[in-house]
Structure 1
């Protein structure tokens, strides 16, 4: 059980901001940590960032390599724009090691039994340099030299006891080449960080990090997305909406179109999410754009995250509707971000949304569309949980959020949504296409609004160079939502207007 103390626990920052947030400040000083992952998972990159952070703080740092050469490490660092000046590199490659026999590799304690040649050279360097940070890459080589799990465990225990006397923080890298999961090694280490990756049928490799164990400190549990790019690893901590929020005034946000505001009961309440659902071409994105444009006229900032429509096409469409986009991250501007679902993870997308809200002060956020967001997830079953946290986060910051969902099909009751997200939204606006007088027209209605009243009517909607227009409620039509309505006789209640031979 962790003891509570007012004295903060000394931490060793990793040099990766997102990982430090996951670890609540970084690794605890003077302890041994296991960093495990398959080859190519990013272990060496993370380890180098960890040592470079130590160099920036004036600490002595040692990289002990049993697999890669000094030149390979320098080349890897150069690809990220780094210099390894200030990091002592000790090469213990297999070709240079002297392994005399089984007894040479057995180690109970440094003061009791002579260490193996490999271990002895490594620990001698630690004793000479007295570093604050040490990386040992990799344990798979020590496992092969030990030849048995018993000797391997004893060697690791000896290393742990020896390094503990020098109060240095140690990263042990393991590439999981041993048979099965090395639970013994996990039990020895003070903390375990696991790096995993998935390669979808199409698109970028999805990388994830999780903290399996972290003695002496709390941490953010769960799976966290990360990427490896020029400059190293970037970690996107799992979003927890309960940890984020800001004070705001609950007020109605107008659209700038009086008839649309009347349909919505005076406007959309700040700190709520509105789902715009309908078939392709029914006007969902245009309605969201209208609210974003109205926000800029009030001097607010709006952000549109477009998974499907190209930025240039959106600008042209907005200009044709009389809503020219003043693109940018500031007040009175709309930031339009083109999102490629094959090249982004949910964690990275959530981080971009957070940046728009916390740094750019976005007051209106449009996610267009739910279909594209769904494609960005490696597994559909996590969509609802991820989306719930993101929408709750936006609501906690007083943001007016619009979530666009395209349904398959064009007319009639056979239309289907990719996922039922209606219960996550505070308001649900349904848009439909219907046939009337030889034309295909658009209709809009509100079927849900948790935060107040709204019209129950159905209105016709159309767009032109002056923007968005809504008609009076369609009292003379029945069955608009089916796509093929019938017209009612004026003053005759629900009696249809006679057509064709029926009129004779």
Structure 2
């Protein structure tokens, strides 16, 4: 239900972006309704959580139904009232539940905690961040790593891959935004040795490849090489706006046939998000492509990190809906020094630390207390 509602919100956002309103007041009202739609998604999540703990959710469910009806009829005032009442009921029920389980957890809570503790985890390569995520990443699932330029997304993603190499795993970097040679050049100042990271250059040739025969397979496989051997291949498809997740997935299938990669860093999906969708039809196709790519990797037991720039907070992107967790990186300038922070926004099926923590990038890796 949460995913379906989230996709509905994204479609409404697309309609808002692609269909100019007749009057600014109409557009403002549409944005308010969109924000309330996102509030409903959050209410659904809270209600599911309370129901899983055995709490009677009849009252709050009734308010949620009234809020949905008001949303359909675009009655913004009634919508705000019912969402506010639902939030108050949820807060009251949450406080009561915490008080009833203080000291001695209920059997249901104890089983949930035991189940979470028994789930195997793998390290992202930063022990402090592992603790924030409740023990690390659940293997075989996709995760989202968001942040603005210079926040350390690529470096944290490479740390994730280097941890896999240290443990004897097969790892792969899918380079979309920057060619591998530029990534390698940017890393020289850190002193990190990433020469053994296998890299799939998603460009050139990211455009859908037509035709059949051995030539296509040779072209796809030739784009993969160790990062330490990266070279400049000239103009890239991404520079011309010719980006397709479908063709990237085709490359991954060829690359993963002889080598069962267990960790993949997709850096990044932002370019695909920006360039590959210009109409409502293309937006729907891109959602299907994101779902297909993440499902393809999960079915093969691959733990995937997908990097992205922060999106519009009023729009739920497909990667936000379909990934199992999200880490947000931010940067703040204090004088001439940049302070970087990490925050675990969500971790489905796992307890986590939602507070913001500072981290440092050094020649010996990333450190977070």
Provide TM-score, normalisation by structure 1.
Answer: 0.39
* Equivalent in the alignment of 2:138: 269
* Equivalent in the alignment of 1:310: 179
Please list, as runs of the form range in 1=range in 2, the aligned pairs for 1:425-440 lying within 5 A after superposition: 425-436=323-334, 439-440=337-338
Structure 2 residues without counterparts, runs of 5 or longer:
1-117, 204-236
Give the CA RMSD over aligned residues: 2.7
Q: Output the CA distance in 2 between the equivalents of 1:416 and 1:304.
A: 30
Provide TM-score, normalisation by structure 2.
Answer: 0.52
- Higher-RCO chain (CA-CA 8 Å, sequence separation at least 6): 2
Please list, as runs of the form range in 1=range in 2, the aligned pairs for 1:54-69 lying within 5 A after superposition: none
Q: Output the CA distance in 2 between the equivalents of 1:285 and 1:422.
A: 18
Contact kept in structure 2, 1:279 and 1:407, CA below 8 Å: yes
- Alpha carbons of 1:284 and 1:444: their partners in 2 closer, same or farther (altered >3 Å)? same
Q: Output the CA distance in 2 between the equivalents of 1:358 and 1:426.
A: 25
- Alpha carbons of 1:264 and 1:308: their partners in 2 closer, same or farther (altered >3 Å)? same
Q: Output the CA distance in 2 between the equivalents of 1:445 and 1:304.
A: 23
Q: Output the CA distance in 2 between the equivalents of 1:326 and 1:250.
A: 32
Instruction: Compare the two structures and name the one with the higher strand fraction.
Output: 1
Matched, 1:292 2:161: yes
Shift, 1:376, TM fit? 4.2
Matched, 1:421 2:319: yes
Shift, 1:287, TM fit? 0.9
Instruction: Compare the two structures and name the one with the higher helix fraction.
Output: 2
* Equivalent in the alignment of 2:367: 469
Shift, 1:321, TM fit? 2.9
- Alpha carbons of 1:289 and 1:416: their partners in 2 closer, same or farther (altered >3 Å)? farther
* Equivalent in the alignment of 1:7: none
What SS class does the counterpart of residue 281 from structure 1 fall into? coil
What SS class does the counterpart of residue 262 from structure 2 fall into? strand
Larger radius of gyration: 1
1:335 maps to which of 199, 211, 226: 199
- Alpha carbons of 1:336 and 1:347: their partners in 2 closer, same or farther (altered >3 Å)? closer
What SS class does the counterpart of residue 253 from structure 1 fall into? coil
Contact kept in structure 1, 2:343 and 2:355, CA below 8 Å: yes
What SS class does the counterpart of residue 249 from structure 2 fall into? helix
Structure 1 residues without counterparts, runs of 5 or longer:
1-248, 328-332, 409-413, 473-504
What SS class does the counterpart of residue 144 from structure 2 fall into? strand
Q: Deviations over 1:362-389 (max 9, x none)?
A: 1111111111223245723321111011
- Alpha carbons of 1:277 and 1:252: their partners in 2 closer, same or farther (altered >3 Å)? same
* Equivalent in the alignment of 2:217: none
Q: Output the CA distance in 2 between the equivalents of 1:446 and 1:303.
A: 24
